[in-house]
Amino acid sequence: MSIVITALEQSLIMLPLILGMYISYRVLKITDLTVDGTYVLGAAVFARSLSFGLFPALIFAVISGGIIGSIVSLCRRITALTGLCRNTCKFYALFR
């Protein structure tokens, strides 16, 4: 029974990522990997904030994901880069 509960907990943790990818690929018909990068960035900011003893870590994680999403959205609107090139530049900037 504990295996089932663990599986449900992990699937609920990944649910926002899965829904974001579904919306961008199926509903909007856009190849966008921003969801992947911002999800990992939010987790990293949350973990780093907790390690520094900052208690509003969840707020920092949400704000960092929103900032990166806004930057990628502005790049999409302003530049004429393709989706793959734009996402490659974003991943390079995030994980450098």
- With residue 33 as reference, give the H or E element that holds it: none
Q: How far apart are CA 29 and CA 9, in angstroms?
A: 29
pLDDT given for residue 60 in this prediction: 93
Q: How many CB atoms lie within 10 A of CB 65?
A: 21
For 36-52, what is each residue's pLDDT tens digit?
778 788 888 999 999 99
Q: Any idea what DSSP says for residue 24?
A: I
Q: Does the global pTM surpass 0.75?
A: no
Domain assignments of the chain as residue spans, ordered by start: 2-94
**Model confidence at 70: pLDDT above 70:** yes
Nearest-Å Rg of the Cα atoms of the chain is 15
**Model confidence at 5: pLDDT above 90:** yes
Q: Average pLDDT over the chain, rounded to whole?
A: 82
